[in-house]
Chain A
């Protein structure tokens, strides 16, 4: 068993109470120990993107980010679907907290983009709160235009950079 899985088991007991919406992940309840990851013949590899309890699953299957239009911080329907998934996952995996990182594309001044990124991160935070996630499990930070993902100076890149990314943090103090 990998080191990572051991950590999950160790903290699983603490997460039972928060596990109100585990139905999305058709899997054994957290804390059943033997069930975590081995997948009972389903071919699920622990910690991989098809392990619904893994951060990789959160990043890839649910989607850890939502995108925004130029100068905007409103969430479109697609973003809300993603965030619904994030809210469910975080509800079932209360051993993780979230840092929501807001970003902007390069078309703006440094200071304004920091403030704009904060708006975007906060829009995600408020949406997740509206879905029942406690504020105490989330922090926000803005990187403005300091951390672009895509480096071209065209809309195809800018669109990827105007984002809010929900970064999981393992923590027991939730």
Chain B
């Protein structure tokens, strides 16, 4: 079975999700992510069985990454192998549920890996230990040995989806700015990596300052701002071949803070002329620009609602920085942020229900979320300096930049879930800032 075929099946599953959810709610094995504080679900990954000696290493690696993905959510807690009573010796042998129940594993994941040349196949099953039944059907993914991590992430995404009823986020990438050197001579270059910090590749060199890359809705292109010309300009980069071109270069102006429209045909951005910054929309094919705001204040950091009908942005029109929502075609903007302090970098959740933002108040920075009308504001983090939230593909986790204080200050990427739990640093080879999370890969 080809990977492509399996992906097609998964897409169908996604379309049927509401029905699946309803039936899954009747079963005992279920995490409701929306609930308040909860204990992570205890589960076990029986080390995937290598089918043939060539698969030994990959089977161990894939088991490990599946476990890291699930544990990393904070929703699942794996039971160490040393505690196992039973061992799974063959993918088809029956499960000794009593042995898994005895160590309090609510879910069990079994799998097998086979390798033929450059091809690798992973098959797996998810078991509801307490009911003694399989959760969903066995599934297999095929791919290349070089892409083994993606297959592990796809397994983990499937498990996550079957147990939570929501899409996962493991088979995704993050484009960000890699930072090296001291604060007053920092070298910046674009980099791309897996969501967990693996497989880092650099997309630009560090000759010019680069800022705030943003993925296209299907992850094939990246918008970013570079000082390559001496002035901030927006570039678009093709992720596959790293080809790039400048999008906007009107002399005497600066353009920055770009975002793709949900249909990928347009770019929403800030354009500065004569000291004043407003929001514009550019058609990528024709280059035609439409002005969306016209005020003497600063309008920047725009982000579309997932359906493309509205835009949330940051403005200092009242004297402090606040968040506003307006129709995608421009027009009257409604202020949504109501608390004390300054708000910036609003980003609409891919689920459409929340807006993440940076808040600066009383000398501290926070990452927070609010409903799209500004109600139910919730601050998730606090530190000396943090900014630039980006959403996981399923709208459950936020990645952002945190910079430490002082002359030795350094930027790193962190993730936190939207309940404010599970704050973690993302492993990157050096300093890192301005993350943008891709959609789930196809």
Q: Which of A123, A126, A142, A152 is within 8 Å of B232, CB to CB?
A: A142
- A20 contacts B by Cβ under 8 Å: no
Shortest CB–CB separation between residue B293 and chain A, in angstroms?
Answer: 12
Question: For residue B252, which residues in chain A have a CB less than 8 angstroms away from its CB?
Answer: 139-140
- B211 contacts A by Cβ under 8 Å: yes
| CB-CB contacts below 8 Å: B204-224 with A | 209, 211-212
Cα(A74)–Cα(B237), bound, Å: 38
Q: Which of B272, B321, B384 is within 8 Å of A118, CB to CB?
A: B272
| CB-CB contacts below 8 Å: A110-151 with B | 110-112, 114-116, 118-119, 121-123, 125-126, 139-143, 146-151
Cα(A12)–Cα(B5), bound, Å: 74
Interface string of B406-425 (1 = CB under 8 A from A): 11010000000000000000
| CB-CB contacts below 8 Å: B46-105 with A | none
Interface string of B177-208 (1 = CB under 8 A from A): 00000111010000000000000000000000
Please give me the residue from chain A that is nearest to B314 by CB atom.
A112
Q: A109-B344, A123-B275 are in contact. Are A115 and B300 (CB under 8 A)?
A: yes
Size bracket of the B interface:
35 or more
Question: For residue B407, which residues in chain A have a CB less than 8 angstroms away from its CB?
Answer: 151-153
- B403 contacts A by Cβ under 8 Å: yes
Question: For residue B298, which residues in chain A have a CB less than 8 angstroms away from its CB?
Answer: 112, 115-116, 119
- A108 contacts B by Cβ under 8 Å: yes
Q: A141-B231, A151-B409, A153-B409 are in contact. Are A119 and B275 (CB under 8 A)?
A: yes
Shortest CB–CB separation between residue B402 and chain A, in angstroms?
Answer: 13
On whether the beta carbons of A108 and B212 are closer than 8 Å, the reply is: no
- B337 contacts A by Cβ under 8 Å: no
- A28 contacts B by Cβ under 8 Å: no
Question: For residue B212, which residues in chain A have a CB less than 8 angstroms away from its CB?
Answer: 110-111
Shortest CB–CB separation between residue B177 and chain A, in angstroms?
Answer: 10
| CB-CB contacts below 8 Å: B287-331 with A | 298, 300-301, 314, 316, 321
On whether the beta carbons of B254 and A141 are closer than 8 Å, the reply is: yes
Q: Which of A109, A149, A151, A152 is within 8 Å of B387, CB to CB?
A: A109
Question: For residue A147, which residues in chain B have a CB less than 8 angstroms away from its CB?
Answer: 184, 209
Q: A118-B275, A146-B211, A149-B184 are in contact. Are A112 and B232 (CB under 8 A)?
A: no
Cα(A36)–Cα(B252), bound, Å: 34
Shortest CB–CB separation between residue B140 and chain A, in angstroms?
Answer: 44
Chain A interface residues toward B at CB < 8 A: 73, 106-112, 114-116, 118-119, 121-123, 125-126, 139-143, 146-153
Chain B interface residues toward A at CB < 8 A: 182-184, 186, 209, 211-212, 227, 230-232, 252, 254, 256-257, 270, 272, 274-277, 298, 300-301, 314, 316, 321, 342, 344-345, 358, 360, 384-385, 387-388, 403, 405-407, 409, 434
